């Protein structure tokens, strides 16, 4: 099974996984400029460590119109942020954000990409006539040398599932600390995580209770594991039972790396009588430096994105009446062994008419 088929998703669609490259074979990064030859040498073993080398994952991101069009609008409608500026594109992929910036009149764009896609980005930049404005640098942000001491703008699409999975935010903060000029711009500069609660009997049956009786056999030991793994999937707006609360907002232009680990309290108020099977997390990002504030949400009431939502199943079914509240807290931390994984601790309690419960559950995005 490849990383792109992991269990963050109930469906079989291609996954975006902003993988780190620490475990990858370093020889993958050696290859020179000879794109066609290099690309033909890539095998499934390389993709296992480096799914961003394959165009499929970039196709999925580019076709996520909510995502890509938002970045395009931010750049084209706010040229004052980019025109005559030195821009650093952190994790350039196909180079799309660099191309937007070049078109908006950037003085120069440094497009840094560590996967094999860097070779392709260079080819794309050339065939679109931007070779003298965009310099593609192949390597990890943490390891490359920029030919200039400071940049005016850092742009990046670093967000992972559950916002923080894959931990590319650290790479952006590293670049900001090292190269961003005082008073420079980070795009986007705000990211917020939200929580709500849903009715989801049908899917919980399919994904969790399923293991109780598999062709007549008890596989409930897998059920205990399954429930600890948040599921990345699309939630229907009709499933939402409570209001939605912001857990945390981060200012990418100011925050420290440690700020992405936190404990946040929440209080969700039921908007109807129903059963609750899961809590659902989602995020939004904002570009507050724009003339008019811009951004997008990955919430269940917004147009779907490839990030979908992240569903955390509860061990109990909560029977809740309109107006009753689920109170609790969520602790989010990088996993110590694998910093790309996210550990989640959820405390929740309901002291309702039909249901009194207080519980702690642990989850891990891996
Ligand atoms: N900017 C592109 C791609 C976004 S996906 C777009 O918007 O379509 C994030 C990209 O960052 C991937 O291509 C991945 O290979 C790259 N990346 C992740 N960590 C990196 C690092 N430490 N240094 C350089 N590139 C990195």
Of the residues 157, 209, 322, 324, which is catalytic? Answer: 157
Query: Is the distance from the beta carbon of residue 115 to the nearest atom of ligand 1 less than 6 Å?
Result: yes
- As a 3-state breakdown, the chain gives helix, strand, coil percent values, each rounded to 5, of 30, 35, 40
Tell me how far apart the alpha carbons of residues 69 and 100 are, in angstroms, rounded to a whole number.
10
Helix (H) or strand (E) holding 284: strand 274-287
The residue whose C-alpha atom lies closest to atom 21 belonging to ligand 1 is 140
* Helices 117-127 and 55-63, axial angle in degrees (round to 10): 60
Per-residue pLDDT of the chain (366 residues; tens, 9 = 90+): 222 333 343 343 334 444 333 333 333 333 344 444 445 666 666 665 578 989 999 999 999 999 999 999 999 999 999 999 999 999 999 999 999 999 999 999 999 999 999 999 999 999 999 999 999 999 999 999 999 999 999 999 999 999 999 889 999 999 999 999 999 999 999 999 999 999 999 999 999 999 999 999 999 999 999 999 999 999 999 999 999 999 999 999 999 999 999 999 999 999 999 999 999 999 999 999 999 999 999 999 999 999 999 999 999 999 999 999 999 999 999 999 998 899 999 999 999 999 999 999 999 999
The answer to whether residue 166 is catalytic is: yes
Beta bridge partners of 318: 276
The residue whose C-alpha atom lies closest to atom 11 belonging to ligand 1 is 91
What phi and psi, each to the nearest 5 degrees, are found at residue 125? -60, -45
Tokens of 162: 């559950």
Query: Is the distance from the beta carbon of residue 50 to the nearest atom of ligand 1 less than 6 Å?
Result: no
Q: What is the pTM of this model?
A: 0.89
The residue whose C-alpha atom lies closest to atom 3 belonging to ligand 1 is 93
Tell me how far apart the alpha carbons of residues 340 and 342 are, in angstroms, rounded to a whole number.
7
Which residues, at least 6 apart from 258, have a Cβ–Cβ distance to it below 8 Å? none
């Amino acid at each position: 099974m490849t990383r792109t088929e992991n269990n963050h998703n109930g469906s079989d669609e291609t996954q975006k996984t902003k993988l780190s490259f620490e475990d990858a074979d370093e020889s993958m990064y050696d290859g020179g400029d000879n794109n066609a030859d290099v690309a033909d040498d890539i095998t499934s073993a390389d993709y296992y460590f480096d799914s961003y080398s394959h165009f499929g994952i970039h196709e999925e991101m580019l076709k996520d119109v909510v995502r890509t069009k938002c970045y395009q609008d931010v750049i084209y409608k706010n040229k004052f942020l980019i025109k005559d500026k030195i821009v650093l594109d952190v994790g350039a992929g196909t180079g799309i954000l660099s191309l937007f910036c070049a078109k908006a009149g950037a003085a120069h764009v440094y497009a840094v990409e560590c996967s094999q896609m860097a070779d392709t980005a260079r080819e794309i930049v050339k065939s679109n006539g931007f070779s003298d404005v965009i310099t593609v640098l192949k390597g990890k942000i943490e390891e490359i040398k920029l030919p200039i001491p400071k940049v005016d703008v850092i742009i990046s699409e670093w967000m992972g599932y559950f916002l923080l999975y894959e931990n590319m935010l650290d790479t952006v903060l590293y670049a900001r600390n090292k190269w961003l000029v005082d008073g420079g711009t980070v795009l986007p500069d705000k990211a917020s995580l939200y929580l709500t609660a849903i009715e989801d009997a049908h899917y919980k049956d399919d994904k969790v209770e399923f293991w109780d009786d598999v062709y007549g056999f008890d596989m409930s030991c897998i059920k205990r594991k399954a429930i600890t793994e948040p599921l990345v999937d699309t939630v229907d707006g009709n499933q939402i039972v409570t209001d939605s609360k912001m857990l945390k907002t981060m200012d990418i232009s100011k925050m420290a790396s440690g700020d992405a680990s936190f404990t946040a309290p929440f209080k969700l108020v039921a908007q109807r009588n129903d059963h609750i099977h899961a809590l659902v997390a989602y995020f939004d990002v904002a570009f507050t430096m724009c003339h008019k504030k811009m951004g997008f949400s990955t919430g269940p009431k917004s147009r779907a994105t490839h990030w979908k939502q992240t569903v955390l199943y509860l061990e109990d079914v909560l029977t809740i009446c309109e107006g009753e509240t689920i109170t609790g807290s969520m602790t989010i931390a990088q996993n110590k062994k694998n910093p790309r994984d996210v550990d989640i601790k959820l405390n929740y309690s309901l002291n309702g008419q039909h249901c009194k419960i207080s519980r702690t559950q642990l989850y891990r995005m891996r």
